[in-house]
Amino acid sequence: MNYDVIVIGGGMIGLTMALGLKQQGRSVMVIEQHEQPALPNELELRVSALNHRSRALLDELGVWPLVSDFRIGPYTDMHVWDKDSPADIHFSATEANADDLGAITENRVLEHFLWQRAEAAGVVITKTAQWRLRDCGSAQQAAEIEYGEQQRAQAQLIIGADGGRSRLRQQAGLTVRFWDYEQVGVVANLRMEKPHNGVARQVFLPTGPLALLPTPDTDVVSIVWSMDSSLAQTRLANKARLAPFVTAESGRCLGEAELISDVKGFPLRMQYAQQWHAQRVVLVGDAAHTIHPLAGQGANLGFADCVCLLENLQQRELADLSSLTRSLGRYQRERKADTQTMIAAMELFKRGFGTSNPWIKAVRSLGFLAAERITPIKQKLAEVALGR
């Protein structure tokens, strides 16, 4: 089989790339090991805070109307504070002349509708866990994948969207730099005593940042608590105690918390590929970079990759390797710079709030106070949240 593009990975980012390329008139195959996610009855644990730029892309692909009609949790305000000081910051969509700052979206729901739209558009989705990269391609020949029962497919471009442990990245010889945060992201859904009123809240604790994200249910929040691995083991071993801890550590900002879901944990690690493309292979999303979730920008970085790569491939002749390489080079320069800036910012936040040093605590308190009181800074923060 011959295709213009083969996408490895049928998650949010892989399906977005496949659908975008299909709309450009390309022939596309996706290789994914799982079935199409079913629409969940209950609120899922894994959610993403999508900014306006990500939603604009999904709207162009005809996916966002389906997602928003099913279930989303838009938020109009953000409240961030430091438990160890009186300093906090609150900013609103109105400060950036917007209707909202973002929307909490269940990953499984988004993947379901992306899959549905991709199949309807003519994307070939092959479900198999058995595949390998046979050839990265060259100026004279296409790249090649072997999959399933010794079937082979060739493409002018192969896109790796198979996550942080990307097999395609490894097989293409694209190395990564990384460090382990020695933290675990603990996620759960809780019913609160008070309504969240569409406000995304985050408190910086000595144990790590705790985010309370609004859901479509006015009394339910989805939490992401990034905590040291040793503490996470204790919390996950005694899940019944999680709700009282959230109540206390959030300063009872929404009253008493009640656990209404399972509790899951996932290890946190920063990594980025030193080179994002080789011959006819290129990386997007978590295959190229993963960051700390404290700012909720992981998914948005992946969708920004899609926007940039789609723009650079628009009306390009993929068979011409020299032209393709120039396009992939432009994509890498733009997205790698943006990603490394975000990684540096997340590392600064993590180290700045993960210490009890009194001098650092004083500096971060001053930073919060300045951001709250200086209008241009607040406006800029709101614009960053929007993805502008």
Q: What confidence tens digit (pLDDT) does each residue in 324-353 have?
A: 999 999 999 999 988 888 777 666 665 555
At residue 162 the predicted structure's pLDDT band, cuts being 50, 70 and 90, is very high
Q: Is 369 helix (H, G, I), strand (E, B) or coil?
A: helix
Query: Looking at residue 378, what is its pLDDT?
Result: 47
CATH topology of domain 74-105+182-267+359-386: D-Amino Acid Oxidase; Chain A, domain 2 (3.30.9)
Which residue is it, tokens 């943006």? 338
In the chain, beta strands by DSSP E: 2-8, 28-32, 47-50, 73-75, 77-82, 88-92, 102-106, 124-127, 131-135, 143-147, 151-160, 176-192, 199-204, 210-214, 220-228, 257-259, 264-273, 277-278, 281-283, 289-290
Taking alpha carbons only, the member of 133, 141, 136, 132 closest to residue 278 is 136
CA-nearest of 98, 105, 73, 12 to 384 is: 98
pLDDT in tens, 270-324: 888 999 999 999 999 999 999 877 666 789 999 999 999 999 999 889 999 999 9
Q: What is the mean pLDDT of the chain?
A: 88
Global confidence as pTM: 0.90
CB neighbourhood size of 241 (10 A)? 12
Cα–Cα distance measured from residue 83 to residue 159, given in angstroms and rounded to the nearest whole number: 43
Beta-carbon contacts of residue 8 (< 8 Å; ≥ 6 apart): 14, 30, 31, 131, 145, 158, 159, 160, 161, 162, 166, 167, 168
Q: Which fold has domain 2-68+107-178+269-349?
A: FAD/NAD(P)-binding domain (3.50.50)
pLDDT digits (tens, 9 = 90+) for 256-275: 999 999 999 999 888 889 99
What residues does CATH 3.50.50.60 cover in the chain?
2-68+107-178+269-349
CATH 3.30.9.10 residue ranges of the chain are 74-105+182-267+359-386
**DSSP characters over 327-355:** HHHHHHHHHHHHHHHHHHHHHHHHHHHS-
Residue type, 375: T
Using only C-alpha atoms, the chain has a radius of gyration, in whole angstroms, of 21
Q: What is the pLDDT of residue 294?
A: 64
Name the token pair of 212: 């309370």
Residue whose pair of structure tokens reads 């609103």 in the numeric block: 92
Q: Are 7 and 29 in contact (CB under 8 A)?
A: yes
Instruction: State the Cα–Cα distance between residues 215 and 109, nearest whole angstrom.
Output: 14
> How do residues 64-93 score in pLDDT, each as one tens digit?
999 999 999 999 998 888 887 766 788 888
Please provide residue 127's backbone torsions phi and psi, each rounded to the nearest 5 degrees: -100, 105
Quick one: what percent of the chain has pLDDT higher than 70? 87
CA distance linking residue 217 with residue 201, whole number of Å: 16
Q: DSSP secondary-structure letter at 95?
A: G
